[in-house]
Amino acid sequence: MSHDPNCIFCKIVAGQIPSKKAYEDEYLLAFHDINPWAPVHLLIIPKLHIASMADLHDGHAELLGRMGVLAPKLMRELGVSNGFRTVINTGPDGGQEVYHLHMHVMGGPRPWLKG
């Protein structure tokens, strides 16, 4: 699989940087965000280095589908039952900070939003 030796997420995939894993298979890795925006905040990344969503092509359709199917499965397993949010930031204007395709999946009760 393609990887970028300077990419922090590629280093996480390679086990060079520790993470709190939620899921791993031959294609994807999901781990807990170190700066969560919600009680449950995961990042789902392909093990293949793809810099951003703008770099996807038809051959990546199955990989992106796997990411989309994994998100609700992990939220259910982690006890999120009242909905969740998925976000893929793309490029500088899209707020992307790490240039390795990743999906944020955020859920859980957020009491500061009430009242």
Q: CA torsion 39→44→50→53, rounded to 10°?
A: -70
Contact 88, 95 (CB under 8 A): no
Q: Which residues pair with 106 in a beta bridge?
A: 41, 85
CATH superfamily of 8-113: HIT-like (3.30.428.10)
pLDDT value of position 109:
73
- pLDDT one-digit tens code per residue, 74-103: 999 999 989 999 999 999 999 999 999 999
Residue 32 annotated as catalytic: no
Contact 9, 28 (CB under 8 A): no
pTM of whole model > 0.85?
yes
Give the separation between CA 98 and CA 79, rounded to whole angstroms: 28
- Which one is catalytic: 41, 49, 102, 104? 102
Which of 1-5, 22-26, 27-31 has the lowest average pLDDT? 1-5
